A and B are shown apart, each in its own frame.
Chain A
Amino acid sequence: MSTREIPIRDALQEAMSEEMRRDERVFLVGEEVGAYNGAYKCSRGMLDEFGSKRVIDAPIAENGFTGAGIGAAMMGLRPIVEFMTFNFSLVAIDQIINTAAKARLMSAGQLECPIVFRGAGGAAYQLGAQHANSFEHYYAYTPGLIVICPSTPYDMKGLLKSAIRNDNPVVFFESELTYSLKGPVPEEEYLIPIGKADIKRAGSDVTLLTWSKNVFLALQTAEKIQKEDGISVEVIDLRTLRPLDKETIFQSVAKTNRVVILQEMHQVASYGAYLGHLIASEMFDHLDAPVELISSLETPMPYSKALEELILPSEDKIRESVQRALQ
């Protein structure tokens, strides 16, 4: 397989374009996806290639175009709905949770809703409180949805292609901070199965569970800890929050007996809290220490850099948690 280094925005564009070439039913709708090439340039060139029938610029009306995507999915199309950022999905969350996620159950399988909702989630640099939400768990909480939070360009492309081919509503989180991040992506077509975690760094002393862009923070910190403290951290990229790959997590915990969970959301009622419960209840006999959970502080995100840094997870916080887990 020949590979090349491409940024995440191109990996996403390739995934969408390949699937649109493969399947006439796939189309892209969202704000600025057409002539503007996407607010973060993830749909560069797509309007030119596919035309305005299949790359549809929408007014700023998230409930509207999300609901329209769902209606089109129910009629047999396979829409990709782009949110400029997931912060704006909150005005469409009713359509995602009450319409898309429940159509199949409420109709006893008569309605299918094959649709992907994708866009940037989480904090970036100094976006202020309303543009820095991390709430993957709002969607991961909802039966009927699939929730994917990849990190690398390779995973982004392979998982987005699988998401587009999936017959369920899929919520797909990207990150503003990593759209330019480059990584190896094969020239040839490939898919990554939904619901499989990936061990991004093998280790033996402690299991570090994370997803999305925090995978990079975890890997970077793990290297330092190895070098400076001689501690071997296994970094698992969950990649999919619903369905969760329990097997990969439990195998790692059985090996290391110590767990640190790293998330960007707040701790109260969060996904990490669920993971902690799951591990504590199902892997209790394997644990040598309480499960550590690193989260953002319980405050809306202020603007100032000085404060933002205090609130978000950091190398120091990971290091402290790893050390506590090893005590």
Chain B
Amino acid sequence: MDQELITDLFRQMLRIRRFEEEAARLYTERKIGGFLHLYIGQEAVAVGALSVLEKTDEVITAYRCHGHYLLRGGNARAGMSELLGKETGCAKGRGGSMHFYDVKNHFHGGWGIVGAQLPVAAGMALAKKYQGTKDVTLCFLGDGAVNIGSFHEGLSLAAVWKLPVIYIIENNQYAMGTPLEKTAPTEDLSIRAMGYPMASDIADGHDVFDVRAKVHTAVRRAREQSLPTLLEVKTYRYRGHSMADPGKYRTKEMLEKEKEKDPIKALGAKLDSLRLNQLREQIEQEIEEEIRDAVEFAEQAPFPAPETVMDYIYAE
């Protein structure tokens, strides 16, 4: 396997994790307010999926969005600043943890109403097709989104209008604190694609290469045939739904067992087995430095000025 690719995927996953571990620390120090939904444990999903995109492809997700933002070219300083509500944030402190944006890099947020991004993604794909491009749209959602109306309306439009959009269910097994078996009478959510209908697949979210391969197939289908896909990625989050959630709906043993499948540990071990320990350590150090710098930058950055309180409401 391509060493450069393994190294790169490892770097990206670790970067997200370290960013969020620091965010969790800052949250407990009350420097971050509101909600903080961490992606820790799920990194292989976004990393694998986004690694097959072209730069002009579009990405949209729900409120667990830090990872997707960082991958889409998002700057760690601007991300950390956003969490701290600073003017230097990727949404100038107006968005917060749930609403990261980097539109010039084709990352469109960061949305807080479960499932609402599915129809929006259909429209993004419609627009790119309308404009005559071959770009595809990737829309991420959680397993908690599969029962709300906008999920079905989004998929329905994507299928009937033949839109180049890939819906990726990040099935982390819990809709907030409710386990999947209580909300859906099926183990595999991908079967819901049948009714629209559209192509579907299942990927192992602990295996970044499996995610990559399955998304690659879906992206080709979208780019070449202008057809949608519903891809379910089985994953697991190690933290609570948000920082406010102690996760009492699962046992410590269950969590520890899941952590054995940690995709970052697995890829780190792979690098070691390829005798790339030194490179791995170097990457770890570089990421430490980037995140330390981002935190320092964000802490020192200014808050939005009072006279800007009414900015960004209307276009002139």
Contact = CB atoms under 8 A, between A and B. Distances in A.
Interface of A: 27, 53, 56, 58-59, 61, 63-77, 79, 91, 94-95, 98-99, 104-112, 114, 143-144, 146, 166-168
A59 B156 contact: yes
Nearest to B124: A71
Closest 9 CB pairs of A and B: A71-B123, A67-B119, A64-B153, A68-B123, A75-B127, A167-B315, A108-B92, A71-B120, A110-B103
Nearest to A95: B116
B153 A107 contact: no
A59 B157 contact: yes
Nearest to A56: B161
Interface in B8-58: 58
A98 B116 contact: yes
Contacts of A109: 311-312
Contact of B99 (A107, A112, A114): A107
A144 B314 contact: yes
A67 B150 contact: yes
Contacts of A105: 94, 312-313
Contact of B119 (A71, A104, A106, A111): A71
28 contacts: A53-B130, A61-B157, A63-B116, A64-B119, A67-B123, A68-B119, A68-B120, A68-B122, A68-B126, A71-B119, A71-B125, A72-B123, A74-B123, A75-B123, A75-B128, A94-B113, A106-B91, A106-B99, A107-B101, A107-B312, A108-B89, A108-B91, A108-B94, A108-B95, A110-B103, A111-B103, A114-B315, A146-B314
A193 B95 CA distance: 31
A221 B131 CA distance: 51
Given A59-B157, A75-B124, A67 B116 contact: yes
Given A53-B130, A59-B160, A64-B156, A74 B124 contact: yes
Given A94-B116, A166-B315, 11 more contacts: A59-B157, A59-B160, A61-B157, A68-B119, A71-B120, A72-B130, A74-B123, A75-B123, A108-B92, A111-B108, A168-B315
A67 B118 CA distance: 8
A259 B43 CA distance: 62
B149 interface: yes
B110 interface: yes
Interface SS majority for chain B: mixed
Contacts of A111: 101, 103, 108-109
A167 B312 CA distance: 12
* A61, A77, A109, A110 interface centre (most CB from chain B within 10 Å): A110
Nearest to B154: A64
A79 B120 CA distance: 13
Nearest to A79: B123
Contacts of B91: 106-108, 110
A150 B117 CA distance: 32
B174 interface: no
B123 A69 contact: yes
Interface string B234-255: 0000000000000000000000
Nearest to A145: B314
Contacts of B131: 75-77
A112 B58 CA distance: 15
Contact of B122 (A71, A106, A166): A71
Interface in B276-316: 311-316
A114 B127 CA distance: 13
A81 B92 CA distance: 30
B130 A74 contact: no
Interface in B113-153: 113, 116-128, 130-131, 149-150, 153
A65 B127 contact: no
A98 B153 contact: no
B167 interface: no
A74 B123 CA distance: 9
B209 interface: no
Report which residue of A27, A109, A143 has the largest number of chain B beta carbons within 10 angstroms of its beta carbon: A109
A64 B103 contact: no
Interface in B50-90: 58, 60, 89
Interface string B187-218: 00000000000000000000000000000000
Contacts of B116: 63, 67, 94-95, 98-99
A63 B124 CA distance: 15
A29 to B, nearest CB: 9
Contacts of B314: 104, 144, 146, 168
